[in-house]
Amino acid sequence: MNIRECTDADVGALLHAYEIGGLAEKDVERFEIHVLQCDHCYEAVQAFAPWAELLRTDRGIRSLVREAVEAPESAGSRLRRWGRYLWPPWPLPFRPAVIYLVILVLLYPTYRWWQRSSSPSVRDIQAIMLVPSRASTQEGVLKAGRDAAVTFVYRGAIPGKRYQVRLTQDGGAVIFTDGSYTEFDKYETGHLLLPADRMRPGGYFLEITDPEGSPPENRQTYHFQILP
Amino acid sequence: MDQLLALARQGDKGAQEKLFGFLLVRFTLLAKRRMREEEARDAAQDACLTVFQKYRTEAPAERFEAWAYAILRRKIGNCYQKQDVRERVMGDGTRIDDVADASGGTLPPHIRNALLECLRKLVRTFPRYARALNLVYQGYDTEEVCRRLRIRQGYVYVLLNRGRDMLNECLEKGGAQ
């Protein structure tokens, strides 16, 4: 085909519609007048004339097209169509399958970040209840590596009154001390939260003292273990 | 063509010869779309003769091709009348069966087979082209095709030309691989 340009692209666009006989009469006339003076379109029509004639007139070709259009799409052809859509013969970076993969790869970290930031940060916590018993000390067991909520009872504790609370390791090292603990409730119960990072495995003493009482009745001691 | 026409009008024999050679091949191509090859040649030559007789005196200075085309259409109409095939209509309404009967046997079978193969491939890879073509086969013009395919008027031409290019490419390779 000649590489010369069409002299009127608007009319030149009617080319194949003309060849297959799909134009209204006024457009046929417009295109044929155009062909008289446009070398590009004349050569295009001339070169394609045998095929155009068959496309217009051949009954076998009509049947083929009609059957192709009317045939229900099989699962296999649907898959093939998807395959062609996802993997067309384009340069690799422009193939939809590659583009979707890149989008997924980019979205995954965003999704993880969103998931992490939107979910409430619940910390795993263990609890222990220390109540007075006939034994000299109360034994309890915790596991290392998790925060612990320690609930303890001091008989005769008055809400709002100041008490001394001391947590020491078996070796005598003081882990926590509060000389004005006022958190006892009306059930004579107090609470402490022991953060995991400060609690090493070993034995611990929790000692509650009423500074206004007389020893030894003013002191309650509990003992508990933190296992590795 | 305008240049050739201007020179021919000034009496340039060479330009006149070229102009009518140019017109004759185009007239023949257009006429062949409506009639048998021999009839088309006759009609084209007849139209060229009339143009030759009148172009100095009657042809408008501008739109010469529209004037020449009107002569060709008249000659084709006369040809139909002579052959007493009045049921045939011009242009888009041309009866397909008549044309098929007229031209179907003239093409070698390998051309048809190649086209069938390429078309089979094309309707699979470009089903919209097949749908548009099928609507044309059912007698709809492009406006109606657009309406039925729910696409813009301009796009149906793009779609058809794209299908044509793919078909042409396949045919140039000698049929579907």
Q: Is the pLDDT of residue B2 over 80?
A: no
pLDDT at B96: 42
CB pairs below 8 Å between A and B: how many?
139
pLDDT along chain A (228 residues), means of 10: 73 90 88 90 90 86 84 70 85 91 93 82 82 70 87 91 92 88 92 86 91 84 89
Residues 37-76 of B with CB under 8 A from A: 65-66, 68-69, 73
- Closest to B15 (Cα-Cα) out of B2, B24, B25, B26: B2
- Residue in A204, A156, A217 with CA at minimum distance from that of residue A184: A156
The pLDDT value recorded for residue B75 is: 87
Predicted pLDDT of residue A159: 92
How many whole angstroms separate alpha carbon B13 and alpha carbon B15?
Answer: 5
Average pLDDT of chain B, as a whole number: 79
Other C-beta atoms closer than 10 Å to the C-beta of B57 total 6
pLDDT in tens, B119-174: 888 888 888 888 888 898 888 888 888 888 888 888 889 999 999 999 888 888 87
Mean pLDDT of B3-7: 78
Output the pLDDT for position B106.
Answer: 61
DSSP assignment, residue B90? S
Residue with tokens 């091709």: B65
Read off the pLDDT of residues B100-110 as tens digits, 9 standing for 90 and up.
444 445 667 77
Residue B95's pLDDT band, with cuts at 50, 70 and 90, is very low
| Residue contact A24–B1, C-beta within 8 A | no
The alpha carbon of residue B82 is apart from the nearest alpha carbon of chain A, in Å, by 23
The encoded tokens of residue B110 equal 């390998």
State pTM to two decimals.
Answer: 0.56
Under the banding of pLDDT at 50, 70 and 90, the label for residue B99 is: very low
| Total residue count of chain B as it appears in this document | 177
pLDDT of residue A104: 94
Asked if B142 lies within 8 A of A22 by C-beta distance, the reply is: yes
Residue of chain B nearest A46, judged by CA positions: B29
Report whether pLDDT(B98) > 60.
Answer: no
Q: Is the pLDDT of residue B77 over 90?
A: no
**Interface pTM (ipTM) of the complex?**
0.81
pLDDT at A138: 56
Using a CB–CB cutoff of 8 Å, tell me whether A43 touches chain B: no
Q: Which of A57, A70, A85 would best serve as a mutation to test chain B binding (most B beta carbons within 10 A)?
A: A57
Q: Is A202 left (phi over 0), alpha (psi -120 to 50) or beta?
A: left
CB-nearest partner of B120 from A56, A64, A69:
A64
What pLDDT score does B147 carry?
A: 87
Percent of chain B with pLDDT over 90: 7
